[in-house]
Amino acid sequence: MKTLLATLALSAGLAAGAQASDVFDASPALRFCAAGMIGGFGNGLDERACAKYFDLPSNYHFACARGVVRGFKTAVDRAACVSFFEGQVAAARTAYVKPAGR
């Protein structure tokens, strides 16, 4: 859980030295978005707004990971998860790597 909070703090563009609890206390909107990212959003508008303002990943990462651990409801859900992560692997392989020292 501490790793997740630290990751969220960095994703929000905040200083690495900030305490995660201070970040969430100071920003109820970030707290709402982090909870939605983990537990699911009520609608697509909230998810898009959180992704835009806080640069948070889709909550599908977490939904897919839950399926891996707890089991998928259907074979289609499993296939969608596989397809999603194959796309993420392809994107990671072609992603830009910053030169050292920048």
**Would the pTM count as exceeding 0.85?**
no
Residues of the chain with pLDDT under 50: 1-10, 14-17
Please give the pLDDT value at position 54.
87
Tell me the CA distances in angstroms from 71 to 31, 40, 43, 61, 87, one per residue in order. Answer: 28, 17, 24, 15, 21
What is the structure's pLDDT at 21? 61
Letter string b/e over residues 50-69, b meaning 16 or more CB atoms within 10 A of that residue's CB: bbeebebeebebebbeebee
Quote the mean pLDDT of the chain.
79
Question: Residue 27: its pLDDT value, please?
Answer: 84
User: How high is the pLDDT of residue 10?
Assistant: 47
